[in-house]
A and B are shown apart, each in its own frame.
Chain A
Amino acid sequence: MFEVLGARAIDDIGNIGQFGRFCWQTTAACLRGCWNHKTYPLVWAQMHIIGVRSVPVIMITGAFVGMTLAVQAYDQLKAMGFEERLGVLINISVVKELGPVLAAVMLAGRVGGALTAELGTMNVTEQIDAVRSIGTDPIWYLVAPRVMACLLLTPFLIIYADLLGILGGFFVGVKQLGINNWAYWSFSASGVELWDVVVGIIKGLFFGGAIAVISCYKGFTCKEGAQGVGQACTEAFVSSFISILVLDFVLAVMFKAIYNTFWPFRSLVG
């Protein structure tokens, strides 16, 4: 019993160590890649696959989040006579939390799954070893461009999600439920600060990096066979999802502390 537990603990610690090493190598490869002109076309290609092709799903995600929030919150606010503040509620939720997190989850599914499956297949068909046998660092060639593309593009995708969330909320709130246009926006403007938007976008950097590194790691350490690749994809998604949530919490705490040291408390309801 203890032996089993002990063995598993040693395994887990070993895996954490391995993952740490992988992160370190990836960081080093990314930094080196910045000065190597051969990296740019690789990053460019990944940006197309990861970024451009994700825009539609990200926009759909954002729009529905905004619209749903409007539908859900309207009745309660109306009962209190606060319905004109619907805008601030929707926009701050979208910009601070729901936009970044849901966009990241969407990316973890769309991009993370694809990265793990691609690298996992390359791993089991020895293509990663082939890169090594040619004398090229597979982390530089395969991982760094994907991580860099994710890091650079997730913030932009989050801007898209935010934008569409805001528009979706506006559409339902003002066009469908008939809230006064001017009141909707002026309450929003007074409630949502640039800080909130920026924090949401900075979160994107972390989420993007986490998704890419975790997915690539799972691909690189994937077990043999079709089942191995499938399992790696599942694990990659679950791990990415959990790290998105954990990072979101940690970053929320950190940014709140930073905010509180510079600015006084701000009430959204007052």
Chain B
Amino acid sequence: MNTQNQTTQERRDSAPQGSNDILAARNVTKRFGPHLVLDNVSLSIERGKTTVVIGPSGCGKTVLIKHLIVLLRPTSGEVYFNDSRIDNLSEQDLNEVRTRFGFLFQGGALFDSLSVFENIVFPIRQHNRVKDWSHVEDIVKSKLAMVGLDGFQNYYPANLSGGQRKRVALARAIALNPEVLLYDEPTTGLDPIRSDVINELVLKLQRELGVTTVVVTHDMTSAYKIADRIIMLHNGKIVADGDADHIRNHPHPVVQQFINGQVGEDDLAILRMTGTASQTQFLPRDFEA
């Protein structure tokens, strides 16, 4: 009896999530050389929910979300998908896992030698997801329509605007109808109306297909609208974690400054010190750096 209890306990340790968590990071630390970017971050993502990660620029949001699909490997710590560890798999095995994810890169990362149509077909073709190739055009059309870009099939990424590229990348991320969608700043660079369309799209995918979504964003309007849960990252650590109201009323000053878009006292002090533009002298060594 005792031993049985122990094994259950051990199993719970090795698979830290209940069956309701689809993704989990456990004590993930990431260093680039001496630079500590993620400091012992643990979080689990609930199946079918939308989790939003917010935080100031450079705090490690992109690094964190890349760990969830093991595009980056943790310096220490573990990543779990469906209760099995994935951060130690070979690239070969990971490819299998990754077909169940959609990932939107912050910069879009469209293949610039391929047209919009080919970009979206790429994942479908790689994994032979359609039986009947005559349907492919319809699939691409519907994915593009979702992001409001039907008719752009034959454009090349170079001929699209920044926001349009982002939306094509989003269409590519959802091409395989993945179980988990990871978006790195989906609404950055879009006008407010287009942003809201993307928000609605995120909600729709979650509602209708039960997709689990993780969104990295700076856009608090969007965060409040789509989030079941908001996580704030600061200096490589999670400083707040909860639903929208929890975040709105969070006592931590860093959180309040961030969500209200206020400059902190430290930053203000620096601005005062550097003086006005007319006083500022640009020395040659400023340009070297």
Contact = CB atoms under 8 A, between A and B. Distances in A.
Interface string A104-134: 0000000000000010001001110110111
A127 B71 contact: no
A136 interface: yes
Contacts of A127: 109-112
Interface string A126-153: 1101101111110001000000000000
Contact of B126 (A122, A125, A126, A134): A134
Contacts, number: 56
A135 B94 CA distance: 7
Nearest to B91: A137
B194 to A, nearest CB: 22
10 contacts: A126-B109, A127-B109, A129-B66, A129-B109, A130-B109, A133-B98, A134-B99, A134-B123, A135-B94, A136-B95
B127 interface: yes
Nearest to A130: B109
Given A132-B91, A135-B98, A136-B95, A125 B71 contact: no
Interface residues of B, number: 27
Interface stretch (B2-10, B32-40, B100-108, B230-238): B100-108
Nearest to B69: A133
Contact of A126 (B105, B127, B172): B105
A126 B113 CA distance: 14
A125 B169 CA distance: 13
Nearest to B101: A133
A132 B126 contact: no
Given A133-B101, A135-B127, A125 B91 contact: no
Given A125-B112, A127-B112, A134 B122 contact: yes
Given A135-B98, A137-B91, 11 more contacts: A129-B71, A132-B71, A132-B94, A133-B71, A133-B98, A133-B103, A135-B94, A135-B95, A135-B97, A135-B127, A137-B95
Interface in B52-107: 66, 69, 71, 91-92, 94-99, 101, 103, 105, 107
B92 A132 contact: no
Contact of B109 (A125, A135, A136, A141): A125
B174 to A, nearest CB: 12
Given A126-B107, A127-B111, A130-B105, A135 B91 contact: no
Nearest to B113: A118
A129 to B, nearest CB: 5
Interface string B8-19: 000000000000
A136 B71 CA distance: 12
Contacts of A137: 91-92, 95
Contacts of A122: 111
Nearest to B66: A129
A126 B111 CA distance: 9
A118 B113 CA distance: 10
Given A125-B112, A129-B71, A135 B107 contact: no
A22 to B, nearest CB: 13
B126 to A, nearest CB: 5
Nearest to B123: A134
A185 B56 CA distance: 77
A183 B3 CA distance: 96
A14 to B, nearest CB: 13
B111 A135 contact: no
A137 B94 CA distance: 10
B160 to A, nearest CB: 14
Contacts of A118: 113
A228 to B, nearest CB: 16
Contacts of A38: 125-126
Interface in B115-151: 122-123, 125-127
A134 to B, nearest CB: 5
B98 to A, nearest CB: 4
Contacts of A126: 105, 107, 109
Contacts of B126: 38, 134-136, 141
Interface string B203-233: 0000000000000000000000000000000
Contacts of A129: 66, 71, 105, 109
B176 to A, nearest CB: 8
B96 A135 contact: yes
Ordered nearest first, which 8 A-B pairs have the shortest CB separation?
A135-B98, A130-B109, A133-B103, A126-B109, A135-B99, A135-B95, A134-B123, A136-B126
A126 B105 CA distance: 8
Contacts of A130: 103, 105, 109-111
A108 B128 CA distance: 36
A75 to B, nearest CB: 51
Contacts of B91: 132, 137
A38 B111 CA distance: 18
Contacts of B99: 134-135
A137 B105 CA distance: 18
Interface centre among A122, A130, A137 (most CB of B within 10 A): A130
Contacts of B125: 38
Interface string A74-88: 000000000000000
